[in-house]
Structure 1
Amino acid sequence: MGIYGALSSAVSGLRAQAHALENISGNIANSQTTAYKRIETDFLDLIPDAPLNRQIPGAVQAQSRSTNDIKGDIKSVSTGTYIALNSNGFFVVEPKVGQSDGNAVFAGTNFYTRRGDFEIDKDGRLVNGAGYYLKGLPIDTRTGNISGSVPEVIQLSNAFLPAQLSSRINYQGNLPQVPKTTAYNPTVPGSELLDAGDYAGGTTGTPLNQIEAGDNALFLTNTIEGGSITVFAENGAPAVVQMRWAKVDSQANGGTDTWHLYYVSDSNATGTDAMWTRVDTEFTFGPDGSMTAPTGTSIDIANLTVNGVQVGDVEFNFGAKGISQFADVNGTARVTTLNQNGYGAGEFVSVAIADNGRVVATYSNGMRIDMAQVVTAEFNAANQLKRHDGGVYSATAESGEPITDVSGGGILGGSLEASNTDISEEFTKLIVTQQAYAAGTRIVSAADQMLQESLNMIR
């Protein structure tokens, strides 16, 4: 190989250590860059072809190695739209290339990033600190189901949330075997029952469909509270549905345990005007406390109207065994489930990304509506992705095609991934690189001196 070969090897070593220094300096410079992935340096020895008994050391070549599959530390932040990935995936993003007629124009090419510092821009899109826009799938706000298949730049709206009509009331609970109403007297058989004959226009043994305002005080003494809930008309007008249960027959009285459900239809009624309206269904129970009628899982409350607010037909859903009649020493109705599916109109307040990757908008009416589903992508060879400015990557033939995931797995809302650069480790590598470079220069100096000695031999 000779002196010139030694010089060539030494220079290749200097070049390789300079390349390593470049990677180290870049890692240190980006130690505080969100989700930055450090670059490692690999050294490859280049051995010239030679017979076995004449093998000689060769030169060296440096190449970069990505660490895209090594996560940085994840920290909690107060910004609701910041997200991190506790997986090997990447967020799917797209850059904006300009505007046309006031509308943003996007590149039409997917890029991939771990940088999750997304914030809402003036147009309602989620963009990170490097200027890349988050992509996802739209969600049907009525059903909560994903309504698309091709990821697109997430677009949020700060418009009012339209009201949703209450079409269902979910109700579950237990009615006491003996309701301890105000009129109940344990020494008087049947005192816990409501007798329609005691009310204006009522007849004993006949269902009392309405309660006049003048009989309200008496009605309250013969019934127990069944809970109340606010429902909404189609235009968002609220109506408070107050319910009371009246037991009208019992086994102890020689009949069947039978209950009627009433609700306030006009709280401002006076005199002979109807204040309470009966739900047109009888609830009966067997000796074991289970409901024997109605036999389904729900009934319909026809044309529900409260204080002039017309809600319409509402499903009263109690499930398979949602209402029971078990003995209760308190003699009151114990409601375990009471909710409904409507809401009034609301003004946009804020947006956040949940741990399942759902982009959730919050409104002034207290509703939280899923607007979009964040899409992530994984690669079989993530370290073979091509790097670009801003912490983004593009797929290559070596990385393979992206494997998309719409489940939201691994997404952490209100979190941010830090750089995976370890400053102490980089400084250690810096010292080693500096010493290796210095050693290489010594080889060059020694070779130079040997050449000088060779030239001096002819003097």
Structure 2
Amino acid sequence: MSISSALQTAFSGMKAQSYAIANISGNIANAQTPGYKYVDTNFADLITAQSTKQAVAGSVIAEARFTTAQQGPLRATGISTNMAINGPGFLVVQQKTGEAKFSGVSLYTRRGDFTLNKDGYLVNGADGYLFGNNLDPATGSVTSSGPIKIANVSLPGRQTTRIDYGANLPKMPGTPAAASGDTSPYTLPSAVVTDPTLPAPDLTKKVTAAQAPGFLDKSIMGPSLMLYAAGGGPVSFSTRWAKVQDAAPAATPPKTAVWNLFYAASATTAKAGDWINAGAAFSFDTSGKFVPPASATVGSDGAVALKIPQVAVDGVSVGDVTLNLGLGGLTQFATSSTAAATNTLAQDGFAAGTLKGLSVTGEGTIVGTFSNDMTASLAVAGIANFANPNGLKAASGGSYEQTRDSGPPIAGLNAATIVGGNVEASNSDIAGEFSKLIATQQAYSANVKVMTSSQQMMSDLLNAIR
């Protein structure tokens, strides 16, 4: 190798080490940047001359080695709208170019420090607007695709259509009459239903306000809960159980124990008002097992449901309500209790609510918590994967652009999960970068020494010629 070639090689070494130290500098500077992926440096030699007996080392070239696909550590922030991807994938964002206008070019980022801005958009610390699907909180259906916007969200009330109920009724009900020695069933003909073969609920049966004292004397408390009418208006629903037939296995034909369920037509004057019969005979065999009436619906798994038609309290209509008793949910087993022991009690309606808080699920669904203690899905974050994520082109703000090398975006998490309330920290390791910094500085100094030595040799040669 000639002296001039040595000078050129030393210069290429200095240039390569300068490139490496620039990458190290950037990695150290971004050690605290969320979602940052460090850039390493690869060196490759260039052979200028080679034969079977002689090989001369040539110059060196430095190239970037990207770590876009390398996971950074996850750090909890306590901010519910922050999200980190645990596994492969990128969040889809766009930059805003004007008032309510976006660039139209999707960028892909691991920077998930999203917060709501004044307009209700989810924006990260690099002004990337999160894109995905906005959902209708009432139905969960997609309303729009684009920038996720959560502003002035309210959850409309939902009318009650189902009551889930499970209980054990006592063989000997502890009614006020029973306390006085009268254990006979309640038998007012105009109010009770004893025939379990009726194909539909009997809507004619009720206890009038004038008959209420006798009914209350012969019945026990049933489930009480709040139902909701159309629009979410609350309706107080109070019920009582009355045993209307004792079991008589020896009778011809044999008789089973039969109960009727009543609800108060007025919440304000429940004890002195009318009591409406649910319209079905709830009968039990000798073992205490519930025998569904003909008007009940029995599922393939044996779950029983009955319809309480045209429920109305204080003139407010709730409509038809399905009493879901499930499988074996209603029984009459012998216990020491003389009251109805409720095991399950829930209904599917709720009042209207306003948004109180947000959270992010593992699937990237943004869920709202409302003032009515209900939750609803509001949006789904856009997630994309790439066959070769290291082939993405880095853009500013921790975002990347699709390239031919990366391949097209593939929608979906692809076995990754979203961790809400967290951000992915930089994958740059300060200790490792300082180690590389020392080695790079020494290599640069050595190349400078080669250059100065080559220059001295060149000067010696020129002096010899003189």
Contact 1:285 1:292 in 2 (8 A): yes
**1:430 Cα deviation from its structure 2 partner:** 0.8
Structure 1 gap segments, 5+ residues each: none
Whole-angstrom CA distance in 2 between matches of 1:205 and 1:334: 23
The 1:142/1:75 distance shift into structure 2, 3 A limit, reads same
Equivalent residue of 1:457, what SS?
helix
Whole-angstrom CA distance in 2 between matches of 1:3 and 1:270: 109
**1:252 Cα deviation from its structure 2 partner:** 5.0
Contact 1:303 1:312 in 2 (8 A): yes
Equivalent residue of 2:236, what SS?
strand
Equivalent residue of 1:196, what SS?
coil
2:218 partner letter: N
Contact 1:81 1:413 in 2 (8 A): yes
- 2:310 corresponds to which residue? 303
> Percent identity over the alignment?
38
Q: How does 1:336-415 map to 2 (within 5 A)?
A: 336-405=343-412, 409-415=416-422
Whole-angstrom CA distance in 1 between matches of 2:111 and 2:72: 11
- 2:123 corresponds to which residue? 127
Whole-angstrom CA distance in 2 between matches of 1:274 and 1:373: 50
162-171 or 33-42: bigger deviation: 162-171
1:89 partner letter: G
**1:261 Cα deviation from its structure 2 partner:** 1.1
1:155 partner letter: K
2:142 partner letter: S
Per-residue CA deviation, residues 290-326 of structure 1 (Å, 9 max, x unaligned), is 3221342322222211123221222222234432333
**1:174 and 2:181 are equivalent in the alignment:** no
Whole-angstrom CA distance in 2 between matches of 1:52 and 1:335: 94
**1:357 Cα deviation from its structure 2 partner:** 1.7
- 2:292 corresponds to which residue? 293
Q: How does 1:411-422 map to 2 (within 5 A)?
A: 411-422=418-429
Structure 2 gap segments, 5+ residues each: 196-201, 298-303
Per-residue CA deviation, residues 235-262 of structure 1 (Å, 9 max, x unaligned), is 3220111222222223257521212111
Contact 1:178 1:192 in 2 (8 A): no
- 2:31 corresponds to which residue? 31
CA-atom RMSD in angstroms: 2.7
**1:222 Cα deviation from its structure 2 partner:** 2.9
2:238 to 242, 246, 252: 242
TM norm structure 1: 0.89
**1:8 and 2:15 are equivalent in the alignment:** no
Whole-angstrom CA distance in 2 between matches of 1:401 and 1:171: 52
Per-residue CA deviation, residues 402-439 of structure 1 (Å, 9 max, x unaligned), is 12116995001111111111111111111111111111
1:196 partner letter: L
85-94 or 262-271: bigger deviation: 262-271
Whole-angstrom CA distance in 2 between matches of 1:139 and 1:325: 45
- 1:62 corresponds to which residue? 62
**1:179 Cα deviation from its structure 2 partner:** 3.3
- 2:274 corresponds to which residue? 275
- 1:162 corresponds to which residue? 156
The 1:74/1:4 distance shift into structure 2, 3 A limit, reads same
Contact 2:385 2:413 in 1 (8 A): no
Equivalent residue of 2:457, what SS?
helix
Whole-angstrom CA distance in 1 between matches of 2:312 and 2:445: 90
2:158 partner letter: Q
Whole-angstrom CA distance in 1 between matches of 2:288 and 2:353: 42
1:196 to 188, 194, 202: 188
The 1:179/1:56 distance shift into structure 2, 3 A limit, reads farther
2:166 partner letter: Q
TM norm structure 2: 0.88
